[in-house]
C-alpha cells in the first residue's frame, strides 16, 4: 500500500482521478481486507473519497481547504514540539545534534535528491 501512496504523491493519480480498489488490492496489497483498511484510513485523512455508486477517487483539495488543513497541521506540530521539548532525554538531544551536524555537511544536491524521493 505504500507503493500506491507513493504513486498518489508522485502524481500518477492526479486529483480527481478514479482509483479502483480491486485493482489496487490485486496490484499492491497482500489481501483485499488490508487494502480496504488502508483506503478507510485514507478516506479519514482525506487522501481519497468514496462516492456511492461511482467509486473511489483521489480527493481534490481546493485552496481554501488546503489553507485550513495547513493551519490545523501547524497547530498540531507546535503542540507536538512543546510536548517533545518537555519530555526530551539527553540521549535524544545528542541524536538531534548529530542530525544537525549531518545536515550541515550535506550538499544542496543531496537535499534535492532526498526531497525528490519524498515527492
Mean pLDDT of 20-27: 76
| Average pLDDT value for residue range 78-94 | 94
User: Where do you find CATH 1.10.10.10 in the chain?
Assistant: 2-58
pLDDT of 82: 95
Question: Regarding predicted confidence, which is higher, 16 or 107?
Answer: 16
- pLDDT band at 39, cuts 50/70/90? confident
C-alpha to C-alpha distances, 35 to 48, 86, 95, nearest whole angstrom: 13, 38, 36
Greatest CA separation for the chain: 55
Could you tell me which residue, 90 or 15, shows the higher pLDDT? 90
Partner residues linked to 62 by β-bridges = none
pLDDT of residue 20: 81
**CATH code for residues 2-58:** 1.10.10.10
Residue 93 CB-density burial (10 A; 0-12 exposed, 13-18 middle, 19+ buried): exposed
What mean pLDDT is reported for the chain? 78
Cβ-contact 52, 14 below 8 angstroms: no
Amino acid at each position: 500500500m505504500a507503493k500506491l501512496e507513493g504513486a498518489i504523491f508522485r502524481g500518477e493519480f492526479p486529483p480527481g482521478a478514479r482509483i479502483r480498489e480491486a485493482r489496487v488490492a490485486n496490484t499492491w496489497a497482500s489481501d483485499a481486507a488490508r487494502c480496504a483498511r488502508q483506503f478507510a484510513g485514507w478516506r479519514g485523512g482525506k487522501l481519497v473519497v468514496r462516492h456511492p455508486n461511482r467509486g473511489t477517487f483521489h480527493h481534490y483539495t481546493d485552496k481554501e481547504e488546503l489553507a485550513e488543513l495547513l493551519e490545523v497541521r501547524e497547530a498540531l506540530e507546535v503542540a507536538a514540539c512543546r510536548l517533545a521539548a518537555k519530555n526530551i532525554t539527553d540521549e535524544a538531544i545528542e541524536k538531534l545534534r548529530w542530525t544537525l551536524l549531518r545536515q550541515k555537511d550535506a550538499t544542496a544536491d543531496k537535499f534535492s535528491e532526498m526531497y525528490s524521493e519524498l515527492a
